[in-house]
Amino acid sequence: MNDELLDVVDDSDSVIGQASRGEVHQRNLKHRAVHILVFNNSGKIFLQKRSSSKDRHPGVWDSSASGHLDAGEKYDVAAIRELKEELGFSPKTPLKPLFKLEASDATGQEFVWVYRCDSDGPFNLNREEIEKGDWFSPAELDKWLEKRPQDFAPSFPIIWRRWQRAEK
């Protein structure tokens, strides 16, 4: 995993080089990622609990699917790839781009495009990446985030709050 080749980007998200995943994280370099929020017909969101063997943020809850862009990869392509890799799922309709987060300490120096996908599943979870997954109503998730923010990957509360603002 640390051998993955990622694009290193500048403050405006323009590629300035490439480095291994391990080097990117060790040197805190800016890079790119995607997060996908999957909602079902009942309005619930699917969240994944990250595997305890993950090197970053193990055992916490996170977006439905997420991951780094490979070197040279486009955000839209990475979002589809991550759904397939993590959830074993290929969407029948195009993903909806929602918003982009700027790279910061809170995002682990990742520029993040967030997408929406509407699906009821079923999903085939990649057990190397995901311990388990479940559906939550927005109200349940709001209460959980308020009481136990430590249960989530650091960028997820930021994504969730931004999604809520965009939906109003």
Return the pLDDT at 167. 76
Return the pLDDT at 58. 80
Return the pLDDT at 133. 96
* Mean pLDDT of all residues in 9-35: 96
Q: Which domains does the chain show, CATH number per domain?
A: 32-167 (3.90.79.10)
98-108 pLDDT, tens digit each: 999 999 998 99
Facing residues of 100 across strands? 113
Task: In whole angstroms, give the CA distance from residue 156 to residue 18.
Answer: 26
Is pLDDT above 70 for 2? no
Closest CA to 119 of 47, 39, 45, 48: 39
Task: In whole angstroms, give the CA distance from residue 157 to residue 145.
Answer: 7
Q: What is the model's pTM?
A: 0.94
Return the pLDDT at 165. 87
Is pLDDT above 90 for 55? no
138-162 pLDDT, tens digit each: 999 999 999 999 999 999 999 999 9
Return the pLDDT at 166. 82
Question: pLDDT tier at 97 (50, 70, 90 boundaries)?
Answer: very high
Which DSSP letter does residue 150 get? G
* Mean pLDDT of all residues in 83-95: 94
Is pLDDT above 90 for 13? yes
* Mean pLDDT of all residues in 12-31: 95
Sign, Cα dihedral of 49, 54, 59, 60: negative
* Mean pLDDT of all residues in 21-50: 96
Is pLDDT above 90 for 89? yes
